[in-house]
Amino acid sequence: MTATLHGPGSAQPASAQHRAKRPATSERLPEPSVVADPCTERQVAGDRLRSGNGDAGLDVFLSGQVFMDMIFTGLPGLPPPGTELVTDGLGSAPGGVANIAVAMSRLGLRVGLAAAFGDDMFGSYLWRTLAEQEGVDLSRSRRLPGWPTPVTVSLAYDSDRSMITYTKPTPPLDRLTTPPWARTCFVDIDRPVPDWAVSMREAGTKVFADVGWDPAETWSTDVLDRLEHVDVFLPNAVEAMAYTRSGSPEEAAEALSGRVPLVVVKRGARGAIAIDAGTGERAETDALPVHALDPTGAGDVFAAGFVFGTLADWPLHQRLKFANLCAGLSVRHYSGSLGSPCWGEIASFGESGEVPDSDLEEYSFIVPFIPEAADQVITRAEPTLRGEQ
């Protein structure tokens, strides 16, 4: 074991930025191009995970809203009324439920997504990026004529951000009366757990869940009643403490462990804590000590790593370590979804010197899952537009 996590060879990461060209005339803008698969080794990694299980269909199925995320960086602050700010940093990428779908697919999981997509240019870009570049199964998703793609603009400044979202009510998709077979599914308990998730659980699917910010800040405990249909709950510390009326993440985890078989409370820079109510096992890990550029979607990337570790049948502590590793690697890049790590980046973890060699030994359990293809040059799929560096 050296300072680099590796399989049979040594990964040599490289960064390839893909910038959109500005049109020289007033002709209609073409649809954004989609780069080649940035994670060519994902299939091999997934096959290793599923070795001995045969063709089990999807590894994970999820449903939700996909957004076009546009992220302005390098701002000194918000523009006062009647003024204009000019910045040299702009990123755009799939957002919303796409964050976790991409993060899971990049680890080699077979991901199915049911979502609505607009028939405008943004919708075309999102569909092509998820289906062609990121390998997400969209057979249960729909393109909706006349429905505009939801857009979120994020203004990043002073290690903080403000967001503006444009969205119209989503027309109902066809009811998932016959959901696909999947080893796991992922839901959001902000709303009642959908019937398809309940049916999948009855058929043996493990249900993972998260919860979002309550804009009314009432934090009704009725939301937690929905955990009766959930196997693994992954809230962040603020949400967990608010819903349980607890004074610390540890107290919140303890309270939630009485409602769900396995709870994982994400503590941001302080890592995560988990309690398995069935076995009584408890685990706690620190976050990866990296310089964070953009925390967008880090919680989703953490969840993707935890799902992978669960399917790999790793002990609870190792699942937390891997989830923290994936989240830590993602925040070193701009955008939530396209900042998700590929196995090549995981293989080269440690080369930057940010983590002491002695600490890398704790991640040796990952090595058997790193495919040889991860030793090849990494072609990172950057957001569609970026400022000059």
- The overall average pLDDT reported for the chain is 81
> Does pLDDT of 292 surpass 70?
no
Indicate whether 68 pLDDT > 50.
yes
Distance CA 204, CA 182 (A): 9
The phi, psi pair for 260, rounded to 5°, reads: -145, 145
Residue 19 has pLDDT above 50, yes or no: no
Mean pLDDT, rounded, for 341-363:
78
pTM for the full predicted model: 0.83
- Which amino acid would we find at residue 30? P
pLDDT in tens, 301-335: 999 999 999 999 999 999 999 999 998 888 776 65
111-115: average pLDDT: 95
Residue 22, pLDDT above cutoff 60 = no
With cut-offs at 50, 70 and 90, classify the pLDDT of residue 17.
very low
Predicted confidence (pLDDT) at residue 379 exceeds the cutoff of 60: no
With 90 as the cut, is the pLDDT of residue 293 above it? no
Using one digit for the tens of pLDDT, what is the confidence trace for 80-108? 899 998 888 787 889 889 999 999 999 99
The confidence band for 387, taking pLDDT boundaries of 50, 70 and 90, is very low
More confident residue, 346 or 255: 255
Which amino acid is present at 140? Answer: R
Least confident of 13-22, 158-167, 344-353, 374-383: 13-22
**98-126 average pLDDT score:** 94
User: Does 186 have pLDDT greater than 80?
Assistant: yes
pLDDT of amino acid 130 = 94
Confidence at 37, pLDDT banded by 50, 70, 90 = confident
**H-helix segments, the chain:** 42-49, 98-106, 121-128, 195-202, 237-244, 249-256, 298-311, 316-330, 343-347, 357-360
pLDDT at 14: 35
3-class secondary-structure state, position 188: strand
Better pLDDT: 92 or 296: 92
Could you read off the pLDDT of 214-223 as tens digits, one per residue? 888 899 999 9
Task: Look at residue 312 and give its three-state secondary structure.
Answer: coil
pLDDT tens profile 222-278: 999 999 999 999 999 999 999 999 999 999 999 999 999 999 999 887 889 999 998
* pLDDT category of residue 119 using cuts at 50, 70 and 90: very high
Query: How confident is the model at residue 296, as a pLDDT?
Result: 64
The per-residue pLDDT for 263 is: 97
Closest Cα to residue 263, out of 286, 301, 234? 234
Per-residue pLDDT, averaged over 362-369, amounts to: 88
Strands 160-166 and 151-157 come out as: antiparallel
Average pLDDT over residues 65-78: 86
Span of 74-78, 198-202, 232-236, 245-249 with lowest mean pLDDT? 74-78
Length of the chain: 389
Query: CA 313, CA 304: separation in Å to the nearest integer?
Result: 14
First to last CA, the chain: 35
- What's the pLDDT band for 137 if we cut at 50, 70, 90? very high
**Could you tell me what percent of the chain has a pLDDT over 70?**
77
The secondary structure of residue 245, as a DSSP letter, is: T
C-alpha distances in Å from residue 58, one per residue of 134, 178, 228, 280, 373: 15, 14, 24, 30, 23
